[in-house]
Amino acid sequence: MWLDHPRNPNSPLAGLKVLELARVLAGPWAGQTLSDLGADVIKVESPDGDGTRLWGPPFVTRSNGEREAAYYHGCNRGKRSIVANFKDANDLAIVAALAANADVVIENFKPGTLARFGLDYASLSSANPGIVYCSITGFGQDGPRRDEPGYDFVIQAMSGFMALTGEPEGEPMKHGLSISDLFCGLYSTIAIQSALAMRARTGTGQHIDMALFDCSVSLLAHQAQSFFTTGDNPPRMGNLHAQVSAYGVFPTQDGPVVLAPANDGLFRKLLTLLERSDLLGEERFATNEARIANREEIDGIIAASTCKWQRDALLESCAKAGVPAGPINELSEVFEDPQVIARGMTFPMADNLTGLRSPMRFSDAQLVLGDPSPMLGQDQQ
């Protein structure tokens, strides 16, 4: 059932065989990323299919009348699909045979579930010692929460994301994307590729234990370091930056812009551009630390200047002066941006679908794009 030839011999992961026993987002996102890099990914679905096939509206209707949610198409392109009922011995034998010849297995069942079907790492690695087996769960394979289900919204709340996101006087807010799922998928991809590199040295694979909670906690980055340093919980600051000023959203006559003068030199350029050179000698604004201490005053001064400008004129002047700035785009504006178009961030697929390109670009290799998400069981043999 595995492909006899690489999908593209000049793709980074040409010939890699990936068995995806995953559904919803984190696992499929890792599988799609590996597929984009050239791997042959076989997605194993229950007879009911991945639940995200029904996560609409909006829905996509294919030329043959098949209908699935747009959500499903966002994280499953380039794969093949078979259906397996794990309660059926013949179906289990097919999945085990695929695993015996796979390089990678991705699964996101609760800990211990696949052992009941002989599809856990211990069982599969006995027949295939080189297998890299990536388990993605909410909380990992051990610890007091190992048996709890993992949902992105819950993980964003528990990891501190929501405590850091939102207006100071407003309620905690989740991110507009399923960021815990997506980053877990990306971290899983990194871990899989690292284990494959190690296998090239040692000849053996290994079990990778990925948890949404771990991945989200690890993304606290500099906010965690601020907490370690002070012992204080960082506050929600809306669009302000805890460590940099003046840095935020500012008004113009026809819409807000983001200004990000992240060092003293850039700040001085901004003052000059805004014709406030009279402030260049002010000690209370001379350094970032001083501007943090006088944030409300300097933000008010800058806002009083920017509101006299047309948005595009200000952005053009910032670009010429080398001051980081940008518009706050709707998605329709994102995909009309000349830079997005120039970089080829979208591509056409069958059934009039549009794909969103993985951001990786190589000097001497190609991504494998263009194949849409599979219909349920389309590659059954």
Distance CA 210, CA 125 (A): 18
Determine phi and psi for 133, rounding to 5 degrees: -115, 115
* Cα 153 to Cα 138, 194, 289, 302, distances in angstroms: 11, 29, 35, 36
* Active-site option among 152, 181, 214, 299: 181
Distance CA 378, CA 380 (A): 6
232 belongs to the catalytic site: no
Looking at residue 320, what DSSP letter applies? H
Tokens 């507009």 identify what position? 176
Collapsing DSSP states into helix, strand and coil, what is residue 67?
strand
Three-state SS sequence of 70-111: HHHHCCCCCCEEEECCCCCHHHHHHHHHHHHCCCEEEECCCC
Find the largest Cα–Cα distance for the chain.
80
Other C-beta atoms closer than 10 Å to the C-beta of 324 total 15
Please give the positions annotated as active site: 181
